[in-house]
Structure 1
Amino acid sequence: MLQSIAHICAALPRAGHFAGGWLLFCLAFVIGYDVVGRKFFNTGSTMLQELQWHLHGAAMLLGFGATYLKDAHVRVDLLRGSFPPRAKIWLEVLGIVLFLIPYLGFLFHFSIDYALRAWATGEGSVGGGGLPNRWIIKSFLAIGFALVILSALSILARCIDALRTGGKAPDTPFFPDP
């Protein structure tokens, strides 16, 4: 049952990772269009430049959850590397329960308020000719934090299952790409 919970929780972060990849493809197109336009047609715009950083930010936030699932995140392993597998799992469980989920829950809560205030005030670009509806990009903060929380719950379920059954330690990716 814990494995099923882990896979369900991992589904949205993996979908976010996929969507983020497509946003990077769109970003490359927008950058190319902007560069060619500025170089040859004198058509540079603030809107295109803002769209670039919006696409980049959204893609990165969509990918953070999958990064944690793949164990590709930054980890300080000064002591952990020498721990036995079971101690590594316990350390992961304690880190998720005591630090990661409470911290991300705090960030998620305040990022929702941040996006809602931008929506309520009709916040747009500070520069003339920029993008309107700044709440859209600000909403990606909450989405990104939610995806990492789901990833943490997925890994937590895997760790608890590993502690119960003697399964795989968390120093290998839980959901490697097929």
Structure 2
Amino acid sequence: MLLTTASKLVRIIDSFTEMLGKMISWLTLLMVLLTFTIVVLRYGFNLGWIAMQESVLYFHGIVFMLGAAYTLKHDGHVRVDIFYQKFSLIQKAWVNLIGGLVLLMPVCVFIFFISINYVLAAWQIMERSSEAGGLPLVYLNKTLILTLAVTMLFQGLAEVLRNLLVIISANKLTMNEV
């Protein structure tokens, strides 16, 4: 029962992260097209708008902050794997489980709590760009810090549960062989 619930929770979190990652990939294309447009307007027609340039920074923030959980799901984060690459599936599951519980999840909780007052202050004053003609959405951009922490925490939970399931299923196989 507990294993079924854990497996179902992993699938739900993975589905959400996958959907978010697919949406982010389209934003990446939009960001590239916008950057191209800015360059053409600036150097081809000597035109430029601060809001348009700032929007590229906002897109970067969205892509990196919301794409981090997708990258984690697909095991795309940088890892020093001098030993890890030679580990068995069970050993890798143990490393990932301990790393998720001891490093990833506490860091996500820390980022969330250390950033909450910063983000709330931006929302209280509806913080705007300090540049004339800039975007009036700085408070939304700062909110990405909290969404990073939450999405990484949930995907971290899925990874911890996934590795726990690998360890438990391997132990069951070992027990059946004895």
Fold match (TM-score > 0.5): yes
Pair 1:126 & 2:130 matched = yes
2:174 — aligned with what? none
Unaligned runs of 5+ in 1: 168-178
2:32 pairs with one of 19, 28, 39: 28
Report the Cα distance in structure 2 between the residues aligned to 1:80 and 1:36, rounded to whole angstroms: 46
Gaps in structure 2 of 5+ consecutive residues: 172-178
Residue 69, structure 1, aligned to residue 69, structure 2: no
1:148, distance to aligned residue in structure 2 (A):
1.4
- Quick check: 1:101–1:152 contact (8 Å CA) kept in 2? yes
Give the residue type in structure 2 aligned to 1:125.
S
Select between 122-131 and 44-53 the one with higher mean Cα deviation.
122-131
- What is the TM-score with the length of structure 2 in the denominator? 0.86
* Map of 2:141 onto structure 1: 137
Task: Please report how far the alpha carbon of residue 40 of structure 1 lies from its aligned counterpart in structure 2 after TM superposition.
Answer: 3.2
Structure 1 runs (4+) greater than 3 angstroms displaced: none
Q: Alpha carbons of 1:51 and 1:113: their partners in 2 closer, same or farther (altered >3 Å)?
A: same
Q: Give the structure with the larger helix fraction.
A: 2
- Residue aligning to 1:151: 155
Which residues of 2 match residues 1-178 of structure 1 at below 5 A? 1=4, 2-166=6-170
CA separation in 2, counterparts of 1:24 and 1:18? 10
Kindly state the Cα deviation for residue 130 of structure 1 after the two structures are TM-superposed.
1.0
Give the greater-gyration-radius structure (CA).
2
Question: SS in structure 2 opposite 1:166?
Answer: helix
User: Is residue 45–residue 129 contact of structure 1 (8 Å, CA) maintained in 2?
Assistant: yes
Contact 1:62 1:144 in 2 (8 A): yes
Give, as a single letter, the amino acid of the residue that structure 1 aligns with 2:37. Y
